[in-house]
A = this chain, B = another copy of it.
Amino acid sequence: MRVIRTVKQMQKIARSLQRAGKSIGLVPTMGALHEGHVSLIRACRKDNDKTIVSIFVNPIQFGPSEDFKRYPRPISQDESVCKKCGVDLVFHPGAGEMYPEGFKTYIDVQEMGAQLCGASRKGHFRGVTTVVAKLFNACMPDRAYFGQKDAQQALIIRRMVKDLNIPVAVKVMPIVREKGGLAISSRNAYLNERRKEDARVISQSLQLARRLIKKGVRDPGSIIWKMTALIESKKQAKIDYISIVDTDHLKPVKKISGDCLVAVAVWFGNTRLIDNMVIKL
C-alpha cells in the first residue's frame, strides 16, 4: 500500500491506472476510520480494480467555532486499517497542498445547502463540494463511495456531479450502527460511555418515527413533537433540528404522502451528532 502526499503524484498514478484500463474507486474520508468507512472500502474493493482512500481533514468545511482543531487524526492507526482492508493507495495531502496561497475557487450547490445541517453550519457544504471536486480531480475515480449517514452531503454531491458532468459514479452506502443503534461516527470518539448510552435516543427517535408513519400518521408536526419529547428525555440532549423532508430536494413535507427522510441533529455537550432514516411508504 502506497501513501501519496501530493496532487501531482496522485494524478500521475491515476492517469497511468486509467491508461492501463484499471477501474479506480475512491473512498473520500477525513480519517479516524471506523466500521462505517470499512463498509465503504469493502464495497469499493468489490466494484473496482484499485481502491484509493483519501484522508484529509478539510479545513474549509468547518466553521470558525467548530471542531477542526480537535477533530481526531489517528493517522498511523488509519493507515493500518487501510492496509488490513486491502486498500491500494492512501491519498493523504497536507492542507498547504490542497489550499495553497491564493486559493479562491469554490463550488456551490444552491439551495440544497441552506437547510438541515446547512442552517447551523454556514458554508459547510460549499467546503464539502469544493474538496470533493478536488479529490475527484486528483484521484480520477470511476466510482466514489459515501455514507448515507451524511444524507444531505450525499444528495448535494450527487447534484454537483450531475450538474458539472463529473464523470464519476456516486455510490451511497447504508448507515452502520453500533449494537445499541447509535450511528457510527468519528465524532463518537468525543463521547464517554454514559453519553454514548444517552445518544442511543437519536436512533430510537428515528425508529419511533418509522413506527408512527407505518401506523398511518401523516402529519410531520405530530411525529416531530413525539421525537422531540423522546430525545429531550435525556437531560444532556439539545436538539439542533428534527426534519421530515422529501428524499429528492430535502424540502420539509407538509403531509407525508410518499418516501421521506427523517433527519436529526442533536448536541450532547460540545458534540453534535447526526442521524437519519429513509422511510418508504
Contact = CB atoms under 8 A, between A and B. Distances in A.
Interface of A: 7, 11, 15, 18-19, 21, 102-112, 129-130, 133-134, 137-138, 140, 159-160, 163-167
A107 to B, nearest CB: 5
Contacts of A129: 105
* Chain A, interface SS category: mixed
B165 A105 contact: no
Nearest to A138: B165
A15 B167 contact: yes
Nearest to A133: B164
Nearest to A10: B165
Given A18-B18, A105-B129, 6 more contacts: A104-B109, A104-B110, A104-B159, A105-B109, A105-B159, A134-B163
Contact of A107 (B11, B106, B137): B106
Contacts of A164: 105, 107, 130, 133-134, 137
Nearest to A129: B105
Contacts of A104: 109-112, 159, 163
Contacts of A107: 105-108, 164
A106 B105 contact: no
Contacts of A21: 19
A21 B160 CA distance: 29
Contacts of A106: 107-108, 110
**Residue from the set A11, A21, A102, A164 with the largest chain B CB neighbour count within 10 Å:** A164
A157 to B, nearest CB: 10
Contacts of A163: 103-105, 134
Nearest to A134: B165
Contacts of A105: 107-110, 129, 159-160, 163-164
6 contacts: A18-B19, A104-B109, A105-B160, A133-B164, A134-B165, A138-B165
Contacts of A159: 102, 104-105
**Residue from the set A7, A103, A165, A167 with the largest chain B CB neighbour count within 10 Å:** A165
A133 B15 CA distance: 19
A126 to B, nearest CB: 9
List 5 tightest A-B contacts by C-beta distance, closest first.
Answer: A105-B163, A137-B165, A104-B110, A105-B109, A105-B160
Nearest to A12: B167
Contacts of A108: 105-108
A178 to B, nearest CB: 35
